[in-house]
Amino acid sequence: MNLEIRQETKENFHLLHLSGEVDAFTAPKLREVLIPLTEESGMKVIVDLSDVHYIDSTGLGIFIGALKSTHNYNSHIQLQGLSSRLHRLFKITGLDEVIDIEAQEKEETQ
């Protein structure tokens, strides 16, 4: 499956709406868009995962790289709209302890 990325830029934050899957095939596309945004000092990057159905280890690595970049450039990343399945993935890997994840989980539709 493909990954669609729609970007909105406001005065002090960037909002990325992701749709599809974040895997070994699509992760480079996400990295290309996400990492430069985290390199803007003082900016907040919000990643909306409401329409993401799958993230593999390569995709998780992109978010870890983005987090490291925020530490280096004094910016911030927040994930929002995670389904219970994606939230569980971040919890199992311990990433929910280091990445800012919006508290409310999206209900999954079957």
pLDDT of residue 11: 86
pLDDT of residue 104: 65
Domain ranges of the chain: 3-101
State whether residue 1 is helix, strand or coil.
coil
| Series of mean pLDDT values for 10-residue runs along the chain (110 residues) | 93 95 97 98 97 96 97 97 95 96 63
pLDDT of residue 109: 47
Indicate the pTM of the whole model: 0.91
pLDDT of residue 103: 78
Instruction: Look up tokens 């970007």; give the residue.
Output: 7
Q: Which of 55, 9, 3 is nearest to 36 (CA)?
A: 9
pLDDT of residue 105: 52
Assigned CATH topology for domain 3-101: Transcription Regulator spoIIAA (3.30.750)
